[in-house]
Structure 1
Amino acid sequence: MVLPSDRRRPTIRDVADVAGVSHGTVSRVINGGKWVSEDARAAVEDAIKTTGYTVSHAARSLATGRAGSVAFLLTEPQHLLFADPTFALLLRGATEALAQRDMTLVLLIAEDPSQYANIERYVRAGHVDGVLLVSSHESNPLLASLTAAGVPTVCSGVPLGDRAHVPTVSVDEEASARAMTRYLLDRGFERIAVITGPNDTPGGRFRLVGFRDEMGDRFDPALVEQDVYSSDAGAAAMTRLLERAPDIDAVFAASDVMAVGAIAALRKAGRRVPEDVAVAGFDDSGLAATADPPLTTMRQPWAEISSRMVEILLDSIAGIERDPVMLPTTLVIRDSA
């Protein structure tokens, strides 16, 4: 069989000739069609490598009416993309999942309301086929605007408010917080404080609910701090807690980033971790294992969260409705608690 000349670009028909299938079968494989046998798919994939064929995204867009890309939308200050490793983990996982489908990820950051309109115009203009929303605040209008415009959108975490129609991939925030709180109680700690995120975010609100429910009659509102997810915020919150309740013997920080800040504040105050105050985190984002001391934390399945978000978004783009997905977390015990 004659392969295409090096002087012209290989075509779908060249791939079909080498694979011994119809060009329609090649097209279905390239565009993610489901009605292809495993043998035919393998033959087409081998032929693509043999011929050096590459997909023309412009041609595909004209043929399908799709952009061949999706947006990774972060509605947080830009520096958090680098300061909070959870966002980087989701970004990497989504990029890898889309690359397997020959699609592109576009990073969009809407830091404040002045940027919302630009993001909405860009998305509604068809530059992307859908949106992976990786952070949501109850007061943020972007999610409602996107869904009202019919833009396929999938959320990481269950958004607050009346958003039942939005597909989500999440962990059970309340149950996870209860599990960590129960672990600290079972270790014999009595004055347990909590540092959690903003109350208008699902993690901030539901992790506090789980902590409060598990503490029961032992819950003390004076041992609660809520702030943004950052190391500086965790340190400031820990300092305020120590001023109000110097007898704290454990703290549950509802993110690893906050936990690291809390440890820094405890050391500054002359407290040892875990000898004087135990510290637990949430996420197991990579930061936990390298912290000093290594953090006891709740592990979120980051790779599965991002891959499932991509899977559900592509189904939504294809008009297939999907139920919400809730994934389990795992208690990881290290030296800090």
Structure 2
Amino acid sequence: MTLGVASAGRRVAPTIRQVAALAGVSRATASRAINGGHLVSPQARAAVEAAVAELGFTPNPVARSLATRRTGSVALVLPEPNTRVLTDPFFASTINGMARALEHTDLQLVLLIARQDGWSTRTVRYLTTGHVDGAVVASHHRDDRLNRELVESGLPCVFIGRPLDVPATARYVDTDNDHAAQLATEHLIGLGRTRIGTIAGPADMSAAIDRLSGWRAAMGAAGLAQDAVELADFTVEGGGAAMARLIEAHPDLDAVFVASDLMASGAVGELSDRGVRVPEDVAVFGFDDLGVATTTTPALSTMGQPIEDMATRAGQILHALLAGEEVEEISVMFPARLVLRESA
């Protein structure tokens, strides 16, 4: 078959009609074969593939999208302000993990960032009206209508972190936060510390809820008081402010378990400003081990969680769902590891 040539001598790209003619099938059959349709005989599929190879045909991505109703894109949704996403190593690890999951696929990653009035409504509309084929959602909050509406819409989605107040069918990957926090607190108790406080994260996030639960479990098992609790927002500034409130309300503290390394670094700074020695006067234990823990003075003991691996697994699950594979697991739990440094 001879391809047409443009007036300037430029070679004209072959069309689906030419592929169909060379393969001896209808245009509709050729389109179904190229776009992965199931209603094509093996003989017709082989003929179309041979014609595609001979002609050097490249499918038009817009036409393919219309034929398959797929965009070839998936979203990573981070319901947090831009400034937080750009400064918290949790999000860099999450993005890296998702990129790793999609590296050898044809899927393009779309990043959606922001947390402000009306954002959830706009994001749900964007995600559920054909702009992406699926989504991974990280750092989500209880009051985000996004979570429930995504699950109920039927859009393939996976959460990083156990989502709150959503149908039980929601798929997620997470760290065993409860057990990890219990291990961290038990370590402090094992050091002989008896007046142990905690700086927990936001009360509308499952990671914060579970880490507080683990601290309470360890304190209760040891018969220790559980009244020294402050909440913060997983930021350095929030951790410093919470530490100030905690030490003023409980000046006899000799240790504190902090639900993130960013908050723990703020707590260490606040204690230093007050002339409180770490760990001699107050031992400090963090959570994450994403780089911040080694930049404080002293370096932080912490619970390491594999955020990048978790994000990669979430991306792999989403890819499998989009490929029509059976994914039996609803939740995947990753263990945290005890990382001991100078602060505890």
TM-score interval, normalised by the smaller of the two chains: 0.7 to 0.9
**Residue 200 of structure 1: how far off its partner (Å):** 1.3
Is the CA contact (8 Å cut-off) linking 2:285 and 2:302 kept in structure 1?
A: yes
Counterpart residue number, 2:99: 95
Instruction: Give the TM-score of the pair, scaled to structure 1.
Output: 0.82
Counterpart residue number, 2:341: 334
Post-superposition CA distance 1:15-68 (Å, at most 9, x none): xxxxxxxxxxxx99x98xxxxxxxxxxxxxxxx9xxx99986445434432111
Alpha-carbon spacing, 1:301–1:104, altered in 2? closer, same or farther (3 Å) = same
Is the CA contact (8 Å cut-off) linking 2:197 and 2:226 kept in structure 1?
A: no
Alpha-carbon distance in 2 for matches of 1:266, 1:54: 63
Partner secondary structure for residue 115 of structure 2 = coil
Post-superposition CA distance 1:259-281 (Å, at most 9, x none): 00000100111112122211111
Partner secondary structure for residue 133 of structure 1 = strand
Q: 2:65 aligns with which of 61, 75, 86?
A: 61
Counterpart residue number, 1:297: 302
Is the CA contact (8 Å cut-off) linking 1:316 and 1:322 kept in structure 2?
A: no
Counterpart residue number, 2:332: 325
Alpha-carbon distance in 2 for matches of 1:88, 1:73: 13
Q: After the TM superposition, which residues 165-180 of structure 1 pair with which residues of structure 2 at under 5 Å, given as runs?
A: 165-180=169-184
Alpha-carbon distance in 1 for matches of 2:138, 2:224: 31
- Structure number with larger C-alpha Rg: 2
Counterpart residue number, 2:154: 150
Alpha-carbon spacing, 1:54–1:329, altered in 2? closer, same or farther (3 Å) = farther
Q: After the TM superposition, which residues 1-337 of structure 1 pair with which residues of structure 2 at under 5 Å, given as runs?
A: 57-58=61-62, 60-216=64-220, 218-319=223-324, 320-323=326-329, 324-337=331-344
**Residue 77 of structure 1: how far off its partner (Å):** 2.1
Alpha-carbon spacing, 1:108–1:207, altered in 2? closer, same or farther (3 Å) = same
Instruction: Give the TM-score of the pair, scaled to structure 2.
Output: 0.80
Letter in 1 for 2:290: S
Alpha-carbon spacing, 1:234–1:9, altered in 2? closer, same or farther (3 Å) = farther
% of aligned pairs identical? 43
Is the CA contact (8 Å cut-off) linking 1:194 and 1:251 kept in structure 2?
A: yes
Alpha-carbon spacing, 1:158–1:9, altered in 2? closer, same or farther (3 Å) = farther
Long gaps (5+) in structure 2: 1-9, 15-31, 37-52
Of the structure 1 ranges 326-335 and 212-221, higher mean CA displacement relative to structure 2 is found in 212-221
Alpha-carbon distance in 2 for matches of 1:195, 1:311: 33
Counterpart residue number, 2:28: none
Post-superposition CA distance 1:246-269 (Å, at most 9, x none): 121111111000000000100111
Is the CA contact (8 Å cut-off) linking 1:9 and 1:53 kept in structure 2?
A: no
Alpha-carbon distance in 1 for matches of 2:58, 2:299: 46
Alpha-carbon spacing, 1:59–1:294, altered in 2? closer, same or farther (3 Å) = farther
Alpha-carbon distance in 1 for matches of 2:297, 2:60: 49
Is the CA contact (8 Å cut-off) linking 1:176 and 1:210 kept in structure 2?
A: yes
Alpha-carbon spacing, 1:9–1:292, altered in 2? closer, same or farther (3 Å) = farther
Following TM superposition, the consecutive aligned residue runs of length 4 or more in structure 1 with deviations greater than 4 angstroms are: 7-11, 52-57
**Residue 294 of structure 1: how far off its partner (Å):** 1.5
Partner secondary structure for residue 194 of structure 1 = strand
Counterpart residue number, 1:23: none
**Residue 181 of structure 1: how far off its partner (Å):** 0.6
Is the CA contact (8 Å cut-off) linking 1:137 and 1:200 kept in structure 2?
A: yes
Letter in 2 for 1:263: V
Alpha-carbon distance in 2 for matches of 1:293, 1:125: 50
Number of equivalenced pairs: 302
